[in-house]
Amino acid sequence: MASSRQAAIRTNARPLRSGLEHLLAAVLLVIAIGAPASANSPTLPALIKPLDLVIYRPGTKPPDFSGPTLDSQSLSLSKLRGKVVVINFWASWCHECRPEMPVLEQLHREFGGRGLAIVGINARENAEAIRRYAKELGLTFPLILDPDGRINALFGVIGLPATFVIGRDGRAVAFGVGSRKWESSPARALIEALLAERASR
């Protein structure tokens, strides 16, 4: 099992820059991987399993963050409370990231009106590189700039792409390192199930 988890970390991952960031990443992964297969709903583990995501311990809260978007706004996780949030960490140099982006854009357009928020957090690139990439792929969901890697470190990101799923009530549901088939029936079923939940319990 350990070898399969290690295989999930992709070769195009860039190492984190400081010992503190390594420690944060290790703690986050140990907590998540050691968690029981439960996510506050008996049906969610069955929906998550086909996507090969790691399920968080029930009640786990993701770290709040705030950052500037490509259109010079400020976006924080706390502002998205009440929505299902899919946070995707990416970079333009990441080959596995590219196929996911148009799929996430499609989910943004299809489910955004029902309470899904797709948020892309770039890994240490400048605004011009991000703007070119977004224009080329026709991305309209919020893209947050993280030039110093602070938000990446908060989430313990050790490889790209990395995606985190958060419920309407603000709990961390699951995460995955590496690309996933977000256009697949299991992914859409998971999103539908999370959208059907109430914002507070």
188-199 per-position pLDDT tens digit: 999 999 999 987
Residue 20, pLDDT > 60, answer no
Q: How confident is the model at residue 19 (pLDDT cuts 50, 70, 90)?
A: very low
pLDDT of residue 41: 60
DSSP 8-state symbol, 5: H
Looking at per-residue pLDDT, the higher value among 40 and 43 belongs to: 43
Cβ–Cβ contacts within 10 Å for residue 131, how many? 13
Mean pLDDT of 104-133: 97
Are the C-beta atoms of 70 and 130 separated by less than 8 Å?
yes
pLDDT value, residue 43? 85
Domains of the chain in start order, with CATH, are: 2-196 (3.40.30.10)
Confidence band (pLDDT; 50, 70, 90) for 140? very high
Residue 127 neighbours by CB under 8 Å, 6+ apart = 70, 145
Nearest CA-CA partner of 154 in 67, 40, 48: 67
Region 137-141: what's the mean pLDDT?
98
Q: What is the pLDDT of residue 162?
A: 98
Residue 31 has pLDDT above 50, yes or no: no
Closest CA to 41 of 173, 139, 130: 173
Predicted structure pTM score: 0.80
User: Distance of CA 44 to CAs 113, 141, 189, 196, Å?
Assistant: 22, 25, 10, 12
DSSP string covering 17-80: SSHHHHHHHHHHHHHHHTS-S--SSTTHHHHHGGGTPEEPPTT--PPP-EEEBTTS-EEESGGG
Q: How does residue 113 score in pLDDT terms, banded at 50, 70 and 90?
A: very high
Residue 6, pLDDT > 90, answer no
Instruction: Kindly report the average pLDDT of the chain as a whole number.
Output: 84
Over residues 70-91, mean pLDDT: 97
Answer whether residue 49 shows pLDDT above 50. Answer: yes
